[in-house]
Amino acid sequence: MDKINLKKHISGQFNVELEGVLNQVLVMGGLVEQQLSDAITAIHEQDMDMARQIVANDHKVNALEVQIDEECTRIIAKRQPAASDLRLVLAIIKTITDLERIGDVAKRIGMMLLDNANKKQPPLVSMENMGRRTVKMLHEALDAFARMDVEAAIEVHKEDDKVDREYESIIRELMTFMMEDPRTIPQVLNVLWCARSLERVGDRVQHLCEYIIYFVKGKDVRHTSDEDIHNMLGR
Amino acid sequence: MDKINLKKHISGQFNVELEGVLNQVLVMGGLVEQQLSDAITAIHEQDMDMARQIVANDHKVNALEVQIDEECTRIIAKRQPAASDLRLVLAIIKTITDLERIGDVAKRIGMMLLDNANKKQPPLVSMENMGRRTVKMLHEALDAFARMDVEAAIEVHKEDDKVDREYESIIRELMTFMMEDPRTIPQVLNVLWCARSLERVGDRVQHLCEYIIYFVKGKDVRHTSDEDIHNMLGR
């Protein structure tokens, strides 16, 4: 069993403080997931009110990052955790950095939409599918985080291959658009940036999964292929 | 005076272990700087041997990241540092994450060059200038890190505006190329990705500067404008 009863684990050694931090991470994760999901809806529906809302909300994500980071530092200094407790706090510190940068992607998409609100809209190709897949990955990674479920983290990690393939196909499609009608280039480039950013969100969700594995297994699996992660964990 | 004599600071409270880690960070930083600089040379001179070397070297960057990260965790667990000592170790952990991802940019540029080695080469515009500026920023940020020099970190932080402006101008130029001759689109897109990646390196170097300020001042200045950083630090 790779699942850990996190609450039980903590109450024995840490205290309500750390539970509070874990809840805050999930609040932050939920907010970032919403921002990302809204960004994809805003692209798809060219919804400028939603775009404005995303940009306006970004400061909440940033504030949560700073707040959780400070709380983690305080906990380390005060509680002097060792071994797996320390790994958990360090995993949280890394997790919120990636969450914050996923939040930045949503904000940048919102800003891009606002900048181009009055211009001719580009062909929308199949961004929606890829976008929804990254949101789903993020959702499942946060779920895996809440349960510190290594099996689930490995599954989510593997999902990124699909995002990469969808991304490649979107790029090919957009290139064809541009070559057929060069006047669309400036607009299509904006869509390209969005696609690229979403592809990078998949990479960041992989990081989140790696932090879960790091915490539970004590193994640093960054820079390790999916297959090797599987083998390393003896599956 | 915002300068801190780091060696003196450490020897009193930590020990040779942490000095060792700091040296490793500078080794890692030097390696990443070299990789980035080589990547820019490789683009400019279409040097495929150099591109291959960059890709081959990336594992050294990754290994250093994992090694330093583990050493930092060990130091926290063993030494239970508080206050500014803890901030230093946490700043190091964050610094190496950004360094590793700057290393990834160099690797991706190397791989892109190798993938396109036999294709018609795209117009090279002024990537060299922007690229060299990011290398310079990284070099100066590492210098500021070695001396924990907040003034220098703030100066480097401001430099990113120039990178952003150069980036905008490169993008405009590349768009014109594509619109004038749509057959160049696939090649030009590769140059666009490089430019975008280098622009993001500037952002990452800003993070490095923020970690220096965080360590020395105990203030989290992420999500703070250059002007506000200035004001906040009472300058």
Segments making up each domain of chain A, as ranges: 6-232
ipTM: 0.85
pLDDT average, residue stretch A160-169: 95
Q: How confident is the model at residue B219 (pLDDT cuts 50, 70, 90)?
A: confident
Average pLDDT of the residues of chain B: 88
Predicted local distance difference test score (pLDDT) of residue A229: 77
Q: Average pLDDT, stretch A198-215? A: 95
Query: Which pLDDT belongs to residue B234?
Result: 58
Alpha-carbon torsion (B208, B209, B214, B216), positive or negative? positive
Contact call for B62 and A189, based on CB within 8 A: no
| CA separation for the pair A189, A211 (Å, rounded) | 33
| Residue in chain A lying closest to B62 (CA) | A223
* pLDDT for B84: 81
Q: At what angle do helices B150-180 and B127-147 cross, to 10 degrees?
A: 160
Q: pLDDT value at position A125? A: 72
**pLDDT over 90, % of chain A:** 65
pLDDT (0 to 100) of residue B19: 87
pLDDT of A118 reads: 79
Residues of A in contact with B183 (CB under 8 A): 179
Contact B46, B79 (CB under 8 A): no
Calculate mean pLDDT across residues B88-112: 95
pLDDT digits (tens, 9 = 90+) for A11-56: 455 668 888 999 999 999 999 999 999 999 999 898 999 999 999 9
Interface test mutation site (partner A, options B73, B87, B197, max chain A beta carbons within 10 A): B73
The residue among A173, A222, A225 with the most chain B CBs within 10 A of its CB, best to mutate, is A222
Q: What percent of chain B has pLDDT over 90?
A: 65
B198: pLDDT strictly greater than 60: yes
Give me the mean pLDDT over the A89-98 stretch: 95
Q: What is the pLDDT of residue B73?
A: 92
**3-state class (DSSP) for residue A144:** helix
Under the banding of pLDDT at 50, 70 and 90, the label for residue A233 is low
Question: Is residue B112 pLDDT above 70, yes or no?
Answer: yes
What pLDDT was estimated at residue B14?
A: 64
What local confidence, expressed as pLDDT, does residue B222 receive?
A: 73
pLDDT (0 to 100) of residue A30: 98
Q: How far is B41 from chain A (nearest CA, A)?
A: 25
Question: Looking at the predicted structure, is the pLDDT value of residue A10 above 60?
Answer: no
Q: Please, which residues have CB within 8 angstroms of residue A9's CB and are 6 or more apart in sequence?
A: A84
Interface contact flag, B223 A82, Cβ < 8 Å: no
- Tell me which chain A residues have a C-beta less than 8 angstroms from the C-beta of B59: 223
Compute the mean pLDDT over every residue in chain A, rounded to the nearest whole number. Answer: 88
The answer to whether the Cβ–Cβ distance between A70 and B183 falls below 8 Å is no
pLDDT tens-place string over residues B49-89: 999 999 999 999 999 999 999 999 999 988 888 778 899 99
Collect contacts of A223-228 with beta carbons under 8 A, ≥24 apart.
Answer: A223/B59, A223/B62, A223/B65, A223/B66, A226/A154, A226/A157, A226/A158, A226/A161
**Which chain A residues touch B if contact means CB-CB below 8 Å?**
59, 62, 65-66, 69-70, 73, 76-77, 80-83, 86-87, 90, 93-94, 97, 171, 175, 178-179, 182-183, 185-186, 189, 192-193, 196, 220, 222-223
The arithmetic mean of pLDDT across residues A96-119, rounded, is: 93
Asked if residue A121 has pLDDT above 70, the reply is no
- Is the confidence at residue B5, as pLDDT, over 80? no
- Provide the pLDDT for residue A234: 59
Q: How many CB pairs under 8 A join A and B?
A: 74
Pick from A182-191, B60-69, B169-178, B219-228 the range whose average pLDDT is largest: B60-69
CB under 8 Å, gap of 24 or more: what pairs does B11-18 form? B13/B81, B13/B85, B14/B75, B14/B79, B14/B81, B14/B85, B15/B79, B17/B71, B17/B75, B17/B79, B18/B75, B18/B79, B18/B85, B18/B88, B18/B89
Cα-atom radius of gyration of chain B, to the nearest Å? Answer: 19
Q: Is the pLDDT of residue B119 over 90?
A: no
| pLDDT of residue B164 exceeding 90 | yes
User: Would you state the pLDDT for residue B169?
Assistant: 94
Answer yes or no: are the C-beta atoms of A228 and A140 closer than 8 Å: no
Whole-angstrom distance, CA of residue A64 vs CA of residue B207: 17
Q: In sequence order, which ranges of B46-82 are alpha helices (DSSP H)?
A: 48-79
- A70/B38 Cα distance (integer angstroms): 37
Q: Which residue of B has its CA nearest to A77?
A: B82
List the single residue in A69, A77, A86 with the smallest CB-CB distance to B73: A86
| Residue B197 distance to chain A (closest CA, Å) | 11
The token pair at B145 is: 């890190």
Assigned CATH for A6-232: 1.20.58.220
Under the banding of pLDDT at 50, 70 and 90, the label for residue B153 is: very high
Q: Do the beta carbons of residue B164 and residue B205 sit within 8 Å?
A: no
B227 pLDDT above the threshold of 70:
yes
Q: Is the pLDDT of residue B15 over 80?
A: no
Tens digits of per-residue pLDDT, A219-232? 777 777 887 777 76
Interface test with B, best of A179, A181, A184, A200 (most B CBs within 10 A): A179
Residue A158 has pLDDT above 90, yes or no: yes
Residues A50-60: pLDDT tens digits? 999 999 999 99
Q: Give the per-residue pLDDT at A131.
A: 95
Q: Distance between CA B136 and CA B121 in Å, rounded?
A: 27
Confidence of residue B159 (pLDDT cuts 50, 70, 90): very high
